[in-house]
Amino acid sequence: MYLPHLIGLTIAGTSLTMAACPPRIEDGIKAGDDLARWAQDSINAFVPFQDGWQEGFDVAFSTDVHATFNATVFTFDTFKTAYEGFYQLLNGGFAGTFEHGFLSAVGVPNAADNGGFVTVTGWQAGYIGGAGGRLINTTDAAFVVIAETENCERKIVEFRETSNLGRF
Taking 50 as the threshold, does the pLDDT of residue 15 lie above it?
A: no
The pLDDT score that the predictor gives to residue 166 is 64
The model's pLDDT over 25-77, given as tens digits with 9 standing for 90+, comes to 999 999 999 999 999 999 999 999 999 999 999 999 999 999 999 999 999 99
Question: Sheet of 134-148: strands edge to edge?
Answer: 72-74, 61-69, 154-163, 134-148, 116-128, 99-109
Domains, the chain, in order of start with CATH, read: 25-167 (3.10.450.50)
Residue 68: CA count within 13 A, CB half-sphere: 11
The model's pLDDT over 152-166, given as tens digits with 9 standing for 90+, comes to 999 999 999 999 876
Residue type, 122: G
Q: Are 120 and 40 in contact (CB under 8 A)?
A: yes
Taking 80 as the threshold, does the pLDDT of residue 21 lie above it?
A: yes
Taking 90 as the threshold, does the pLDDT of residue 10 lie above it?
A: no
Q: Are 123 and 164 in contact (CB under 8 A)?
A: no
The pLDDT score that the predictor gives to residue 89 is 86
Question: Percent of the chain having pLDDT more than 90?
Answer: 79
Taking 80 as the threshold, does the pLDDT of residue 19 lie above it?
A: no
Q: Where are the alpha helices (DSSP H) in the chain?
A: 3-20, 28-46, 53-60, 76-87
State the average pLDDT over residues 90-116: 94
